[in-house]
Structure 1
Amino acid sequence: MHDVLVAGALLAVLSGVMNGLFTLPMRFLGRWSWENVWSVFIVGACLLLPAVVVAVSAPGSWSLLLEAPGRAEAIAVGTGFAWGFGAIMFGQSVSAIGIALANTFVLAISSAFGSLIPMLLLTPNKIHERAGHVVLAGIAVEICGIALCGRAGLLRERAAGGKSDQRGDLVGEARPLAAAFLLVIGSGLLSAVFNIGFALAQPIARFGQVQGLSEFASTNLIWVLMLGGGAISNLGFCVFLLLKNVSGRKFLQPGGARLYGLGLLMAALWGGSIFVYGLATPKLGSLGASIGWPLSLATGLLVANIVGLLLGEWKGVPRRAMGWMLSGIGILVAAIVILSRANQ
């Protein structure tokens, strides 16, 4: 049992690493407009990758979606559709304020709501037990670390503004901090819906296992529905912008193979993180969704801040800001350790 929990925790951390890296290619996609990049990313992450994973893991499982519990399927599609607008706002916020700061605020909000609500809905009795206390403690420590990283980010913004040498070839345009805050708040709340929907759609996975699917293959049925719902809202907005800005012609630019490749790399990293997370949660026991979610997001936040540092997003900022960030990262590591032990 201990080995299974350790494997689940490691998979959740791997999911976070992939999630923290997926926005990195946006740094090199400035030749395209935001809607070009995001539409390629969404097609790859929400449509192509799920289809490939399901075809490889359980080719005959598509027909089971016609027989799975209808209420759970409606929840999966509906929450996926709602999450799609959060994904749009997240993509816009990365362009607005950079990889590190956008991830800090979005993952903070998403971690808190996405961890607590599944526990309260599915296993409310756990809140009064040791495991629930450890989850709450881990989230509290994580929020402290996130607050320190956020403080560092604010100091960075005040010192550096939107200097182009910090943005590099980042796709999209910088925005005022107030507008960026609205984007990250909306994105964080709707991103939490993604984990809530996954937790509430578990009857689909249980149905798949009864029909003979493996744990991994049955969970993939949930992801297909949720990601499909998210693709509708994301691609709808992208098509609107492509028509409005007449940016569809950029898909035909010379040398576009590199741009398509980077967009699909984004899809592989983020989409892969979702399927790895789906593999991790069953191994973490009855509190899998409440433990795995903050564990994955805290790791992703840690990685995203390191990426931002290496890319020069913190270049020229006061030493005090760097101190805040390093302190926050240290506390986030402590939160990861606490959350990984919640089910032991």
Structure 2
Amino acid sequence: MEFVLPFILVLFASFFQGTFGLGMKHIAPLKWEAWWLLHSFVAMIFVPMVWASIVVPDLFDVIAQTDNAALSSAMLYGFLWGIGGILFGVSVEYTGISITYGIVMGLAASMGCVIPLIQIDGAMNQPAFPIILIGVTLLLVGVAITAIAGVQRDKKQTDVDQTGKSIKVGILIAVASGVLSAFLNVGFSNAAPVADIAINQFGAGPRDASLAAWVVVLIGAFAMNGGYALFLLVKNNSWSSYRVSNSGKAYKWAILAGVFWFAALGVYGQGAALMGSLGPVIGWPILLGLALVISNIWAYRGGEWQNAQKPFKILLAGLIVLIIAICILGYANY
């Protein structure tokens, strides 16, 4: 059970991660910045702090006793991840969702695994090291195949004329977004001192202590996301969007998507904590790989693969490779 429970938790986290994006289909009639400010506050401040405060009663004492350098580092990584999220949206305008999503998911999964791995003393001497590399390599292959399937589907369903220059610019932006998106997990890994204090000085369990680590990382993440949304609200003078009629559904989805978004990270963090020192290394690519599988299941149910039989077969091949990669990564922690 000690081996199975962490992966059950990561599986549940993947469901939340692959599902929360459904809420972004229900932004109207709110302006994007109005919706995003509410969503990011719920996802990055309200839910993490409430959940962590319940399971770690002395949460703010834990944070206060953590070394300032560790806190600053974790928050900085969260802030950098926020920049990656903004760049994701910019890249989509140049290259489309499929290419951007494939590049960002691949880089976020691999870099978010490799960076915490090389930060571990003697990482290359660990028996699991070559197995992890094989798993991550296969994961990248699986993401690339699903991206190709998405590109071919989009060609069948749309007539978008893009210049070579715009695609190159979009790809460069997507690469930057993918690298920065990995820093969310790097921040979680570097927030380990917060969890250690919660465990050793305040008696919290490893699963619960992981939530205290997320609170610190996501303060930095909200500084970027909430700050950018506020900037747009001021720049566009779009505060009146909050008073628009028939916006109840948009409010509901902003909150629900925020709950799902942090549920993914919170449950993932609990599973990673139970995996030991390699938890953030192995759990992160499993989380993103399974989330990609789940998001495509939702896309299929939503009719996004209709009249695209050949691309769908390519997608299935990519998902099979992803599942094999996830099994290999799981074995690496056995």
TM-score (normalised: structure 1): 0.88
Find the partner of 2:175 among 172, 176, 185.
Answer: 185
Bigger mean CA deviation after superposition, 154-163 or 257-266: 154-163
1:330 equivalenced with 2:320 (yes/no): yes
Kindly indicate whether the alpha-carbon contact (under 8 Å) linking 1:100 and 1:305 is maintained by their aligned counterparts in 2.
no
1:308 equivalenced with 2:305 (yes/no): no
1:91-240 aligned within 5 A: 102-123=100-121, 125-161=122-158, 180-211=170-201, 212-240=203-231
Count of paired positions:
328
Q: CA deviation at 1:96?
A: 7.8
**Whole-angstrom distance in 2 between the partners of 1:99 and 1:151:** 12
Match of 1:292 in 2: 283
**Whole-angstrom distance in 1 between the partners of 2:91 and 2:38:** 18
Q: CA deviation at 1:99?
A: 6.7
Q: CA deviation at 1:34?
A: 2.0
Q: Residue type of the partner of 1:5?
A: F
* Change over 3 Å in CA distance of 1:315–1:35 after alignment to 2: farther
Task: In structure 1, list runs of 5 or more residues that go unmatched.
Answer: 164-175
Bigger mean CA deviation after superposition, 45-54 or 95-104: 95-104
**Whole-angstrom distance in 2 between the partners of 1:276 and 1:56:** 15
* Change over 3 Å in CA distance of 1:40–1:74 after alignment to 2: same
Cα deviation, 1:4-42, whole Å, max 9, x if unaligned, reads 121111211221221111111111223222212211110
Cα deviation, 1:217-245, whole Å, max 9, x if unaligned, reads 32222211111111111111111222223
**Whole-angstrom distance in 1 between the partners of 2:181 and 2:212:** 20
**Whole-angstrom distance in 1 between the partners of 2:216 and 2:90:** 24
Match of 1:74 in 2: 72
Match of 2:10 in 1: 12
**Whole-angstrom distance in 1 between the partners of 2:213 and 2:159:** 40
Bigger mean CA deviation after superposition, 265-274 or 210-219: 210-219
- Partner of 1:22: helix, strand, or coil? helix
Task: In structure 2, list runs of 5 or more residues that go unmatched.
Answer: 161-165
* Change over 3 Å in CA distance of 1:182–1:29 after alignment to 2: farther
Kindly indicate whether the alpha-carbon contact (under 8 Å) linking 1:20 and 1:303 is maintained by their aligned counterparts in 2.
yes
RMSD, aligned α-carbons: 2.2
Q: Residue type of the partner of 2:51?
A: V
Kindly indicate whether the alpha-carbon contact (under 8 Å) linking 1:16 and 1:299 is maintained by their aligned counterparts in 2.
yes
Kindly indicate whether the alpha-carbon contact (under 8 Å) linking 1:44 and 1:267 is maintained by their aligned counterparts in 2.
yes
* Change over 3 Å in CA distance of 1:280–1:205 after alignment to 2: same
Q: Residue type of the partner of 1:268?
A: V
**Whole-angstrom distance in 1 between the partners of 2:230 and 2:159:** 28
Q: Residue type of the partner of 1:203?
A: P
TM-score (normalised: structure 2): 0.91
Q: Percent identity?
A: 29
**Whole-angstrom distance in 2 between the partners of 1:183 and 1:33:** 24
Q: CA deviation at 1:162?
A: 6.8
Q: CA deviation at 1:183?
A: 4.5
**Whole-angstrom distance in 2 between the partners of 1:201 and 1:44:** 21
* Change over 3 Å in CA distance of 1:69–1:22 after alignment to 2: same
Q: CA deviation at 1:57?
A: 1.0
**Whole-angstrom distance in 2 between the partners of 1:73 and 1:262:** 31
